[in-house]
């Protein structure tokens, strides 16, 4: 067979599967070369992208440690000054070996002991009443010394303290000073007089009786969701309601007002035990519900007791 005729037959023969795969591989290589040369023409960065495109890597952000905020702590040396003055007033020169003298000298080695006689009365109690920071480390603590004969004497004790409250030192002898002036008492907000035979007064009195004497259950007088535990053991045997004063006029309404109405009252009682009788006062918050008054909060001084699911 002539060579030309054989060549034409090979060109027209159907392609096999192996030939097809070979052609695909050749096309891929050709296209890859074109991409590389195009990237070279575009610049180094494009070349790097064309040659190898790295997988996208997501890096976890490093865990951030919580910042530690340090704040300066102003040490109040009133307790230290109280211990020192109590020991100093119970010490005397010439008797340095006593426990009180040793304690006073250990806290203030440069302070002399008082030269008192053996019959000198000792204070019954020493209490800090005021402390003032004069500089960063210097304090002046005012203390009241009360004696069994009724005398009351005030002393100012100079003390130095570090910022952390770890170390203290008395820097000089005490000085006798005038006591703090009596503060003006503000006008009481409890200006509405509540009859002691009203439903509100009865609730307040019965609640306090259960609270202080154990007469009855405290829970029966409380608003839903309020929890108050009685004083245990009960300190008093009987309790008598003396006076009830309120802030809101709703406390003296002829009938219990609408549900949710709240009033604040000051309740004064007389509690008795075997030793005698004691005039006491309690601030209460009462809330109207279903035609009756219920205790919502009890407050003594600045400490409120209320809340808590039961």
CA 198 distance to own-chain centroid: 39
Residue 75: predicted pLDDT: 72
Tell me the pLDDT band of 304, cut-offs 50, 70 and 90: very low
The predicted pLDDT at position 163 comes to 74
The CA angle 218-221-290, to the nearest 5 degrees, is 160
- At 96-138, the pLDDT tens digits run 899 999 999 999 999 999 987 776 788 999 999 999 998 888 9
Q: Tell me, what's the pLDDT at 124?
A: 93
pLDDT for position 68: 42
Residue 283 pLDDT > 70:
yes
Query: What value does the mean pLDDT take over residues 51-57?
Result: 45
pLDDT in tens, 130-149: 999 988 889 999 999 999 88
Bond into 42 cis (ω within 30)? no
d(CA 21, CA 38): 26
pLDDT band at 10 (very low <50, low <70, confident <90, very high): very low
Residues near 157 by beta carbon (within 8 Å), at least 6 away in sequence: 81, 84, 85, 140, 141, 143, 170, 174
Per-residue b or e along 160-178, where b marks 16 or more CB atoms closer than 10 Å to that residue's CB: bbeeeeeebbbeeebeeee
Q: What is the mean pLDDT of residues 217-222?
A: 96
- Report the C-alpha gap between 218 and 208 in whole angstroms: 8
Q: Would you say residue 38 has pLDDT above 80?
A: no
Sign of the alpha-carbon dihedral angle for 290, 291, 292, 295: positive
Residue 197 has pLDDT above 90, yes or no: yes
Q: Could you tell me if 198 and 234 are in contact, meaning their C-beta atoms sit under 8 angstroms apart?
A: no
Helical pair 17-42 and 44-51, crossing angle rounded to 10 deg: 160
pTM above 0.75, yes or no: no
Q: Across-strand partners of 278?
A: 271
For residue 33, the model assigns a pLDDT of 58
For domain 192-306, give the fold. Answer: Nuclear Transport Factor 2; Chain: A, (3.10.450)
Stretch 21-35: mean pLDDT? 57
CB count within 10 Å of CB 280 equals 16
| CATH 3.10.450.540 domain locations along the chain | 78-177, 192-306
Confidence of residue 217 (pLDDT cuts 50, 70, 90): very high
| pLDDT above 70: percentage of residues in the chain | 72
pLDDT of residue 161: 86
Asked if the model's pLDDT at residue 51 lies above 60, the reply is: no
- pLDDT of 232 > 80? The answer is yes
Q: What pLDDT was estimated at residue 76? A: 84
Q: What single DSSP character describes residue 64?
A: P
Neighbours of 237 (CB within 10 A): 13
Region of poorest pLDDT, from 39-48, 163-172, 231-240, 249-258: 39-48
Pairing verdict, β 168-170 and 192-194: unpaired
Model confidence band, residue 269 (pLDDT cutoffs 50, 70, 90): very high
Architecture of domain 78-177 in CATH?
A: Roll (3.10)
Q: Between 136 and 56, where is the model more confident?
A: 136
Q: What is the pLDDT of residue 120?
A: 72
Whole-number pLDDT of residue 299: 84
Q: Is the pLDDT of residue 158 over 90?
A: yes
Angle (nearest 5°) at CA 51 between 50 and 54: 85
């Amino acid at each position: 067979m002539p060579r030309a005729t054989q060549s034409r037959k090979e060109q027209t023969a159907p392609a096999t599967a192996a030939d097809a795969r070979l052609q695909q591989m050749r096309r891929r290589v050709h296209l890859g070369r074109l991409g590389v040369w195009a990237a070279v023409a575009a610049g180094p960065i494009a070349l790097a992208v064309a040659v190898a495109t790295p997988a996208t890597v997501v890096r976890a952000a490093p865990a951030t440690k919580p910042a530690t905020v340090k704040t300066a702590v102003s040490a109040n040396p009133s307790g230290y000054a109280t211990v020192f003055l109590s020991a100093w007033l119970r010490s005397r020169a010439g008797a340095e070996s006593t426990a009180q003298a040793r304690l006073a000298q250990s806290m203030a080695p440069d302070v002399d002991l008082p030269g008192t006689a053996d019959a000198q009365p000792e204070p019954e109690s020493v209490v800090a009443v005021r402390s003032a920071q004069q500089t960063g480390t210097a304090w002046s603590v005012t203390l009241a010394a009360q004696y069994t004969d009724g005398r009351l004497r005030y002393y100012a004790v100079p003390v130095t303290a570090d910022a952390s409250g770890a170390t203290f030192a008395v820097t000089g002898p005490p000085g006798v000073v005038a006591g703090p002036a009596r503060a003006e008492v503000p006008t009481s907000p409890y200006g509405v007089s509540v009859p002691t035979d009203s439903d509100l007064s009865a609730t307040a009195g019965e609640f306090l009786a259960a609270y202080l004497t154990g007469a009855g259950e405290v829970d029966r007088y409380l608003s839903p969701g309020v929890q108050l535990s009685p004083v245990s053991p009960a300190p008093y045997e009987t309790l008598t309601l003396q006076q009830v004063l309120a802030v809101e006029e709703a406390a003296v309404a002829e009938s219990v007002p609408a549900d949710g109405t709240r009033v604040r009252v000051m309740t004064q009682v007389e509690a008795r035990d075997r030793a005698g009788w004691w005039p006491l006062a309690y601030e209460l918050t009462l809330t109207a519900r279903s035609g009756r008054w219920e205790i919502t909060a009890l407050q003594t001084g600045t400490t409120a007791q209320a809340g808590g699911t039961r």
